[in-house]
Amino acid sequence: MDLGQFILMRQELLLTFAALVVLVAEVFTGEKNKSRIINLTLCLFALVTIIGFIPGETGNLFGGSYQSSQLTVFMKNTLNLAVLIVFLQAESWLRKPENADKISEYFILTLSTLIGMNFMISAGDFLMFYIGLETATIPIAGLAAFDKIKSKSAEAGIKLILSSALSSGILLFGLSMLYGATGTIYFADMTGLVTKDPMILLGFIFFVSGMGFKISLVPFHFWTADVYEGAPINVTSYLSVVSKGAAAFIFSIVLFTVFKNIVELWKPMIYTLAIFTMTLGNLFAIRQDNIKRFLAFSSIAQAGFILLGILGAGELGMTAIVYFVLVYVFTNLGAFGVVAAIHNASGVENISGYNGLYQTNPKLGLLMTISLFSLAGIPPIAGFFGKFFLFTAAAGSGYYILVLIAVLNATISLYYYLLVIKAIFIEKNEQPIPTFRSSNAMRIALVMCITGVFVIGFASGIFEYIRSISKLFLN
Amino acid sequence: MIEGIGIEHFLVVSTLMFFTGICGFIIRRNLITMLMSIELILNSVNINFLVFNRYLYPDQMQGHFFSLFIVGIAAAEASVAIALIINIYRSLQNIDVENVNEMKY
């Protein structure tokens, strides 16, 4: 085997290198200079993100265990961008004195989960998929319990690790069934052997339940709101965008490639899950007052919309999902960025605390409004196009009733997003959040989000590009 | 392959273990016991992989390797979970799941 082939997994190698550099830097920096690690990691990771965009070779490694194609490279770049924004948003939070001794932990854990997600997306067999999934999940539990002194944070950590361990156990049981029925764990070999055999169906159902936990589909969503509320905001944003995005990518890849022969059997299942996820996520979001819980339920509802893309199986569905996640990265991180900035400055986490925000911090108020409009899918912002393509994909497969339900749900979601906007603009408050200036890194992150939200919506070339690479991937 | 013991014997055991694990996870109120239930689930999966490999596809190694990796990852998972349980113990002075209820609905 030629060592030059390892260039195919350049993104994973770069990330591993970055994580190791942070580790070494942690060892060789004195107690006083720990905050320098932040600057180092930000520069390093920005570099990694940029290098990732350089086009390169694609192909298979390790006898097909690792597959790299233009689509997976694009997915990884999307995740890299998201993590870069998360890191920029976390900068001022990490500089707080209570976090001084665990700066590099945050970066190393985040980077190692990102490596896991990259391997998971590139998986060519179920073993690599499982290892990637676990590498992506276990460190996040540590991250969720990052605020050691807060009991809420510890609670979030334990809830995340136990529910994710249970879900991966269920998923593994499904995989063992699939292995028993087909005799292989490779995606490419299994595709031809998947039939309507009862054992395969059982395995498939276990597999979907396990993945349902990771993407937080109803009825597997119970951990989501608690973990999102208890974890520090910068971990929550990572969980809700990067972790969910990666799981959605691999879920659609596996459904579209390995299980394409039994597409008629899994469509009704996904159909039901989509209806429940959208509706329940939305209904629970209405009654929340904590902004993190609110965004958690809104992200459950968004996961329901992603399922619409999966129903539009094939090239258009794949394109719609990748495009939606790309938009979702910028949109949701915009909203989380504002929440993080406000929390850093004033500690406010409740929606009622946002009353009168526009009078004191007009820019943040406006940014939050745009992000929430984009989440709700109001034209001409990118969120509208993301939803539009998902609905098109589902309608293209003839699911008109489902699209109707989805549109009704989008309307309900507009109601609760508007509740926040009402608090920001209309509600009067005797003591609104005082005017503050966020750090430069946070400002850069927010500008990136807002640019992304507008540019991706209008640059049709991006959608065309994703479409061409999904076509290459699926054929 | 063991003389006189068919594949179904193993599968019955592994299925029983799997559902015992699920039941234990739901019923038990102690965090450590819940973790043990998860280990039971993972071990049932290991049995499945090994038995399928040995009885149905004896000329391959995929199932064997899969179960090796499961053992390794289960250890990592257990260590992180126990660290978090200790963290919970520090703030609550016990590890009863009934008390881990600050956030609801």
CB A316 within 8 A of CB A300: no
Amino acid identity, position A444: I
CB contact under 8 A, A134 and B83: no
Q: pLDDT band at residue A102, thresholds of 50, 70 and 90?
A: confident
Q: At what angle do helices A222-230 and A151-182 cross, to 10 degrees?
A: 140
Counting Cβ atoms within 10 Å, is residue A189 exposed (0-12), middle (13-18) or buried (19+)?
middle
Name the nearest CA neighbour of A115 among A251, A216, A22. A22
Name the nearest CA neighbour of A433 among A347, A374, A363. A347
* B26 at interface of A, judged by CB pairs closer than 8 A: no
Residues of A in contact with B56 (CB under 8 A): 180, 183
CB contact under 8 A, A173 and B48: yes
Which residue in this structure is represented by tokens 């965004």?
A295
Domain boundaries, chain A: 3-474
Name the nearest CA neighbour of A442 among A377, A382, A361. A361
Domain count, chain B: 1
| In-domain check, residue B24 | yes
Residues of B in contact with A176 (CB under 8 A): 45, 48-49, 52
DSSP state of A125: B
Per-residue pLDDT at A8: 86
Q: Which residues contact B2 (CB under 8 A, 6 or more apart)?
A: none
Which residue in this structure is represented by tokens 């963290």?
B87
Per-residue pLDDT at A467: 92
Show which of residues 45-64 on chain B sit within 8 Å of chain A, judged by CB atoms.
45, 48-49, 52-53, 56-57, 60, 62-63
CB A449 within 8 A of CB A333: yes
Compute the 3-state secondary structure of chain B and give helix, strand, coil in percent, each to the nearest 5.
75, 0, 20
Counting Cβ atoms within 10 Å, is residue B36 exposed (0-12), middle (13-18) or buried (19+)?
middle
Q: Which residue among A155, A175, A284 places its CB closest to the CB of B103? A: A155
CB contact under 8 A, A179 and B66: yes
CB contact under 8 A, A142 and B80: yes
Tens-digit pLDDT profile for residues A320-330: 999 999 999 99
State how far the Cα of A171 lies from the Cα of A220, in Å rounded to an integer.
Answer: 13
Give ∠ CA A38-A86-A244 in degrees, rounded to 5.
140
CATH of the domain at B34: 1.10.287.3510
Segments forming the whole domain that contains residue B71: 7-94
* A172 at interface of B, judged by CB pairs closer than 8 A: yes
Tens-digit pLDDT profile for residues A407-437: 999 999 999 999 999 989 988 888 888 888 8
* A174 at interface of B, judged by CB pairs closer than 8 A: no
| In-domain check, residue B1 | no
Given CA atoms A9, A12, A16, A18 in this order, what sign does their dihedral have? Answer: positive
State how far the Cα of A38 lies from the Cα of A91, in Å rounded to an integer.
Answer: 7
Q: Which residues contact A401 (CB under 8 A, 6 or more apart)?
A: none
CB contact under 8 A, A179 and B52: yes
Tens-digit pLDDT profile for residues A296-353: 999 999 999 999 999 988 889 999 999 999 999 999 999 999 999 999 988 888 888 8
The whole-chain average pLDDT of chain A stands at 91
Name the nearest CA neighbour of A205 among A257, A270, A161. A270
* B68 at interface of A, judged by CB pairs closer than 8 A: no
Q: Which residues contact A370 (CB under 8 A, 6 or more apart)?
A: A334, A381, A450, A453
CB contact under 8 A, B31 and A162: yes
State how far the Cα of B14 lies from the Cα of B8, in Å rounded to an integer.
Answer: 10
For residue A284, what are its two tokens?
Answer: 């629970």
Name the nearest CA neighbour of A104 among A19, A162, A171, A174. A19
State how far the Cα of A244 lies from the Cα of A247, in Å rounded to an integer.
Answer: 5
List the single best residue of A155, A164, A213, A236 to mutate versus B (max B Cβ within 10 A). Answer: A155
For residue A89, what are its two tokens?
Answer: 């948003």
Q: Where are the beta strands (DSSP E) in A222-265?
A: none
Q: Which residues of A332-351 are buried (b: 16+ CB within 10 A; e: fewer)?
A: bbbbbbbbbbbbbbeebbeb
Which residue in this structure is represented by tokens 């998947």?
A194
Q: How confident is the prediction along chain B (105 residues), in pLDDT tens digits per residue? A: 777 888 999 999 999 999 999 999 999 999 999 999 999 999 999 999 999 999 999 998 999 999 999 999 999 999 999 999 998 898 888 888 888 888 876
Q: Which residue among A165, A177, A230 places its CB closest to the CB of B77? A: A165
Q: For chain B, how far is it from start to end, CA to CA, in angstroms?
A: 50
Which residue in this structure is represented by tokens 């899918």?
A377
Q: pLDDT band at residue A390, thresholds of 50, 70 and 90?
A: very high
* A165 at interface of B, judged by CB pairs closer than 8 A: yes
Kindly calculate the radius of gyration of chain B based on its CA atoms and give it in whole angstroms: 17
CB A289 within 8 A of CB A354: no
Q: pLDDT band at residue A1, thresholds of 50, 70 and 90?
A: low
Name the nearest CA neighbour of A300 among A326, A328, A267, A269. A328
Name the nearest CA neighbour of A236 among A281, A292, A186. A292
Reported ipTM: the value is 0.95
Tens-digit pLDDT profile for residues A247-305: 999 999 999 999 988 988 899 999 999 999 999 999 999 988 899 999 999 999 999 99
Minimum CA–CA partner of B32 in chain A: A162
Q: Give A127 to chain B, closest Cα distance, Å.
A: 6
